[in-house]
Chains A and B, each alone.
Chain A
Amino acid sequence: MAKKIRVLIAKPGLDGHDRGAKVVARALRDAGMEVIYMGLHQTPEHIVEAAIQEDVDVIGLSLLSGAHMTLIPDVMELLRENGAEDMVVLGGGIIPDKDARSLKDMGVSMIFGPGTRTDEIVEYIQKNVRVADE
């Protein structure tokens, strides 16, 4: 059985718009990945615990609320604490370029802004995920 890429999709914090996250989740599924969908209102603790239990390769965080400079760094910190910094973290939503640069400095792999095509995300994941380290 070939390894399947496993991706966690979550919306940290309090924003209520999950259309984009659902579109991405579906596109990744259609690209043959296993998508663990957590949905709205997730805390960084919930997200990291789920990522560990599900042994995902990628964590996709979608934020439209403006709280990305608090919540995404919290996720990165918790991943480090749990020895899971090898997971690829992607951000999406309304995130200004300046913030995107700081987030990348903290270890976020890529930020996908509005207008990103889903196949760009699929391609990025396929290129950047550890294929077989077991």
Chain B
Amino acid sequence: MSDASMDLVSRILGGDRRAVARLMSMAENDVPGVKKILAELHTHTGRAHIIGVTGPPGSGKSTLVDKLTLEYRRMGKTVGIIAVDPTSPFTGGALLGDRIRMNEVALDRGVFIRSMGARGHLGGLAKKTGDLVKIMDAFGKDMILVETVGAGQSEVEIVGTAYSTIIVEVPGLGDDIQAIKAGILEIGDIFVVNKSDLDGADETARELDAMLDMNPNDSGWRPPIIQTSALSGDGVSRVVEALTEHMNHLNETGNLHKLVRARARDELRNIIIDHIRSLVDARHDSEEFETLVDSIVAGELDPYRAAEIYLKTLEG
């Protein structure tokens, strides 16, 4: 490992914010050599409580994250926040605006906030987010909050690897079928009905409750439904209590070990897929590849056989 890389590792472990931010960019951009640095940091991870927060746009996720962070800071815990926003599929650009709601904690040295564009990673988003979580963990953050818009498979994947997942709902967004469709019932450990000062909050909570009753769940944990008003802070301390209870439950039942193993499994799988993808990408305009394409176009070969032939060359 180069001196510059070692230097970055020791600066991160020593609490240097610029080094942390720089490594996060390197991980996002997948620059050569970043894997070695992450590998070095890996031994310094595993202590943080990773919490996923997801829900529809405008449901108050960022505000809730801000208030949860305040609570944790009062308890003396340090917090890392990773806020993922969508990237435009047309331009590749992104407007990352979650910090606007996090001003209250933005100057606290015990808090580190990082915004992340989902970019065009085909299935790679979970890996990138995982890298950022790892860096926050090595940096020594006690609680790591990962916030994503709960709209697609990759978001579900990201929060699915958190130890505790909070689903944020708001009154009036549609009937119970919407929640079933989105597949969120299966991944939520805690359900929050935010903006509970609005009409229909009780009804939304009741509907969620009824659906959770129907949802088979063998973990022994019945997800609580908590009404909050994140803006005023009402109910937020109950969310913190529920998170603590959930972590205790995971510890007592041995489910934490299962989760840790599932995370390790996902991570290994993602790293392997990422590696294979970069191998394919690096050679996608190679001569062998183009020759196979020509054969398919000429009708001499079908694409399935061509793929088999090509994969053999990759193995070599």
Interface residues of A (CB under 8 A from B): 1-4, 6, 25-26, 28-39, 45-46, 49-50, 52-55, 82-84, 132, 134
Write the B1-40 contact mask toward A (1 if CB under 8 angstroms, else 0).
0000000000000000110011011101111000000000
| B112 is an interface residue with CB less than 8 A from chain A | yes
Contact: A30 with B115, CB < 8 Å?
no
List 24 interface pairs A-B (beta carbons < 8 Å), by A numbering. A4-B28, A25-B95, A28-B93, A30-B91, A31-B93, A32-B91, A32-B93, A35-B93, A36-B97, A37-B97, A38-B100, A39-B97, A52-B21, A53-B114, A55-B18, A55-B21, A55-B22, A55-B25, A82-B18, A84-B18, A134-B22, A134-B25, A134-B26, A134-B29
User: A82: which B residues are within 8 A, CB to CB?
Assistant: 18
Which 9 pairs across A and B sit closest by C-beta, in order of nearness? A29-B93, A55-B21, A32-B92, A1-B30, A55-B25, A32-B93, A37-B97, A3-B29, A34-B117
| CB–CB A50/B99 < 8 A | yes
Residues from chain B with a CB closer than 8 A to the CB of A2 are 29
Please give, as numbers and ranges, the residues of chain A lying within 8 Å of B113 by CB-CB distance: 50, 53
Q: What is the bound-complex CA distance between A30 and B94, given in angstroms? A: 8
CB-CB < 8 A to A84: which residues of B? 18
Q: Assuming A29-B91, A54-B114, is B22 touching A34 (CB within 8 A)? A: no
B positions within 8 Å CB-CB of A: 17-18, 21-22, 24-26, 28-31, 87-88, 91-97, 99-100, 103, 106-107, 112-115, 117, 119, 121
Taken together as a complex, chains A and B put the C-alpha atoms of A55 and B107 apart, in Å, by: 16
Give the complex CA separation of A31 and B90 in angstroms. Answer: 10
| 4 extra interface residue pairs, beta carbon distance < 8 Å, beyond A30-B93, A39-B100 | A3-B29, A34-B87, A53-B114, A83-B18
> What chain B residues lie within 8 Å of A49 (beta carbons)?
106-107
Q: Are B28 and A1 in contact (CB under 8 A)?
A: yes
Q: A53-B17, A53-B21 are in contact. Are A1 and B91 (CB under 8 A)?
A: no
Cα distance, A25 to B115, chains bound together (Å): 15
**Residues of chain B with a CB closer than 8 A to A38's CB:** 99-100
Q: How long is the Cα–Cα vector from A35 to B88 in the complex, in angstroms?
A: 12
Give the residues in chain B near A132, CB-CB below 8 Å: 31
The answer on a CB contact under 8 Å between A36 and B115 is yes
Shortest Cβ distance from A28 into B: residue: B93
Q: CB-CB < 8 A to B121: which residues of A?
A: 1
